[in-house]
């Protein structure tokens, strides 16, 4: 009896050992790759790129996991606290800056110096914190205008606004004639840089917001608000601009072309009355660009393989293929020159035309977020101050002084 038991144990041990042995033979370099909300829509694409990479680099195995965008911060921070960050991860710009400042990411200026000039310079900048770039830019979207042709025609206009002054002029007519809103103020931190008012100085050491131009803008916003041109619900974020657009309560809305389809989803008749146009450029002739980045964890045990994979994922060929699947733009210059992006030039469909315009806007695209760690809190300060000016009659000059002081405290 005892012998039987013993032999069973020995057998079990041998089995485990043999598995361990097989495991150690297979254990080549394994890297983990996290993406944000790309599964299941892009399963085929991502798996295809991974398969191509593995075929090109025998001995490297990529494990892919997709994280819902809404909880990415919690997921990543928990993993970082437990030293469990994936080797390669897809991060949005705000969060990238936090992790970069913590020293959790690999310096790409050095690690990817050989491919740096493949990307648009204004977009490469997105990964910068205090002078170091911590990520490769991946897919990007910039914002352009979707507008309601019917509403503009009813108010007596034959096209969308092209300058800031014109846009407010048109908002006034729309509001007085039809009770419909035009310009809305949602992200003041993106409006100010368009007119040359940067929140933080270029070296990231001090606040740069308190300028005469900013004061003029704040005063103008107050004037428009008092005329009733700026709806409280959108200012306070209680309603979504895209939903208001679908309900024909605003005549134009500035957003990424990938979200135009959501109007089609919510209100097909409004979508068919819509067309696309350039975002109003402002005095600096720039538009903001939202960049998705790929970063490599500095705790990664296989940094070389991880950097190699990050470069592969963001190269021209793979980015172009990705752009063809959905309304996004590549961050690599070579991919953006493809004829695919000029196809929608004469389309009457808002999303197709928008796709063409978005690619045309790439030359104006810059990441307008301040290149500092606390950028999320700084943006909040500025937005809170403008709300105080509009809703609580705070003096614009005082609001700017307060914003300057609060930003300096964070730097």
**Locus of tokens 């990817």:** 112
82 interacts with other proteins by CB under 8 A: yes
Helix (H) or strand (E) holding 384: helix 375-392
Question: Rounded to whole angstroms, how far apart are CA atoms 144 and 277?
Answer: 6
In angstroms and rounded to an integer, the radius of gyration of the C-alpha atoms of the chain is 25
Cis preceding linkage at 40, omega within 30: yes
- Give backbone dihedrals phi and psi of 141, rounded to 5 degrees, phi first: -140, 140
Provide the 8-state DSSP code for 105. Answer: B
Count the residues of the shown chain that bind other proteins, applying the rule CB under 8 A: 36
262 interacts with other proteins by CB under 8 A: yes
Choose, by CB under 8 A, the member of 29, 57, 61, 69 that binds other proteins. Answer: 69
Q: What is the smallest separation between the CB atom of 269 and other proteins, expressed in angstroms? A: 7
Question: Rounded to whole angstroms, how far apart are CA atoms 85 and 126?
Answer: 21
40 interacts with other proteins by CB under 8 A: yes
67 interacts with other proteins by CB under 8 A: yes
Choose, by CB under 8 A, the member of 203, 265, 304, 398 that binds other proteins. Answer: 265
Choices 13-21, 72-80, 294-302, 370-378 (CB under 8 A): range interacting with other proteins = 72-80
Choices 65-73, 99-107, 189-197, 304-312 (CB under 8 A): range interacting with other proteins = 65-73
Nearer to other proteins, 36 or 60 (CB): 36
Question: Rounded to whole angstroms, how far apart are CA atoms 194 and 120?
Answer: 19
Question: Rounded to whole angstroms, how far apart are CA atoms 138 and 292?
Answer: 5
Task: Tell me which residues in 201-260 interact with other proteins (CB under 8 A).
Answer: 243, 246-247, 258-259
Nearer to other proteins, 57 or 258 (CB): 258
Question: Rounded to whole angstroms, how far apart are CA atoms 254 and 271?
Answer: 14
51 interacts with other proteins by CB under 8 A: no
Helices 396-410 and 212-226: crossing angle in degrees, nearest 10, is 130
Nearer to other proteins, 246 or 297 (CB): 246
Question: Rounded to whole angstroms, how far apart are CA atoms 221 and 191?
Answer: 11
Task: Tell me which residues in 310-329 interact with other proteins (CB under 8 A).
Answer: 326-328
Q: What is the smallest separation between the CB atom of 242 and other proteins, expressed in angstroms? A: 9
102 interacts with other proteins by CB under 8 A: no
44 interacts with other proteins by CB under 8 A: no
70 interacts with other proteins by CB under 8 A: yes
Beta-carbon contacts of 166 under 8 Å, excluding residues fewer than 6 positions away, are none
Question: Rounded to whole angstroms, how far apart are CA atoms 140 and 332?
Answer: 10
Nearer to other proteins, 199 or 350 (CB): 350
Provide the binding-site residues for other proteins, judged by CB under 8 A: 36-41, 65-71, 74-75, 77-78, 81-84, 243, 246-247, 258-259, 261-262, 265-269, 326-328
């Amino acid at each position: 009896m005892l012998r039987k038991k013993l032999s069973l144990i020995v057998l079990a041990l041998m089995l485990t050992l043999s598995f361990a042995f097989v495991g150690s033979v297979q254990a080549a370099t394994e890297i983990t790759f996290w993406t944000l909300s790309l599964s299941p829509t892009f399963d085929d694409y991502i798996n295809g790129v991974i398969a191509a990479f593995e075929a090109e680099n025998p001995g490297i195995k990529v494990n892919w996991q997709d994280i819902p965008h809404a909880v990415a911060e919690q997921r990543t921070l928990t993993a970082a606290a437990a030293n469990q960050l994936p080797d390669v991860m897809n991060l949005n710009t705000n969060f990238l800056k936090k992790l970069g400042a913590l020293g959790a990411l690999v310096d790409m200026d050095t690690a990817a110096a050989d491919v740096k000039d493949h990307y648009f310079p204004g977009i490469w900048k997105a990964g910068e914190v205090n002078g170091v770039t911590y990520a490769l830019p991946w897919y990007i979207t910039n914002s352009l205008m979707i507008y309601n042709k019917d509403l503009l025609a009813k108010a007596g206009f034959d096209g969308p606004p092209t300058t800031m002054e014109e846009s407010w002029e048109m908002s006034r007519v729309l509001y007085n004639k039809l009770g419909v809103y035009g310009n809305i103020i949602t992200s003041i931190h993106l409006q100010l840089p368009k007119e040359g008012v940067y929140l933080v100085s270029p070296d990231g050491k001090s606040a740069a917001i308190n300028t005469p131009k900013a004061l003029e803008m704040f005063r103008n916003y107050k004037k428009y608000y008092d005329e009733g041109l700026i709806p409280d619900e959108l200012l306070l974020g209680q309603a979504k601009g895209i939903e208001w657009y679908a309900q024909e309560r605003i005549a134009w809305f500035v957003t990424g072309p990938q979200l135009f389809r959501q109007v089609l989803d919510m209100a097909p008749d409004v979508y068919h009355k819509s067309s696309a146009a350039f975002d109003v450029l402002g005095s600096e002739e720039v538009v903001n660009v939202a960049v998705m980045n790929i970063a490599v964890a500095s705790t990664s045990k296989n940094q070389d393989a991880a950097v190699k994979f990050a470069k592969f994922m963001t190269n021209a060929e793979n980015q172009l293929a990705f752009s063809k699947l959905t309304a996004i733009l590549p961050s690599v210059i070579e991919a953006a020159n493809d004829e695919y992006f000029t196809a929608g030039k004469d389309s009457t469909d808002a999303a197709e035309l928008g796709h063409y315009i978005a690619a045309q806007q790439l030359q104006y695209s810059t990441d307008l977020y301040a290149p500092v760690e606390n950028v999320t809190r700084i943006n909040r300060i500025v937005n809170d101050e403008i709300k105080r000016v509009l809703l609580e009659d705070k003096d614009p000059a005082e609001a700017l002084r307060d914003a300057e002081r609060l930003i300096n405290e964070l730097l």
